[in-house]
Amino acid sequence: MVSMQDLICPFGATQAKEDFGCRHASKIIRRGGTEFACDSADMHVACSHLLRRLKDVALPEFGVADDLTQMPHSTLVKIQFGGLLGLQRITGTEANTVADIAALIDTAISEFACIDAIPCESLCGDIVNYRLSRRSRR
């Protein structure tokens, strides 16, 4: 049996900003920070697959490998934010936020038939050009 602890949201960085959300996400507070658990095993599989595809097309643009010791955290964050905003753009909505990541992915699957058919290559510009917000000075 899979627990919610095993289903950590692949797009958790976007949800921590609170401009992005998902109907399947539940906040988990840990010593290392906040994570989000998914209450849908099927949606977790879909989101994980989409993030893998986004990384496959975007990492060569950044010149890094999918390796936690080499890939800057900011690159992964840009892939998550830019990828979702780009997906929103190609499915007909342009906004700076995503209210429900699951609904966005469901819309993309309906439009393109499956995650593998989503033209992730066309999202590279959204990913590379995404501007990370600056941290406020303490």
**Residues in contact with 135: Cβ distance below 8 Å, sequence separation at least 6, in sequence order:** none
Q: Quick one: which H or E segment has residue 27?
A: strand 25-30
pLDDT of residue 116: 97
Instruction: State pLDDT tens for residues 69-94.
Output: 888 889 999 999 999 999 999 999 87
pTM: predicted TM-score of the whole model, two decimal places: 0.89
Instruction: State pLDDT tens for residues 17-45.
Output: 888 999 999 998 877 778 899 999 999 99
Q: Which residue has the higher pLDDT, 9 or 4?
A: 9
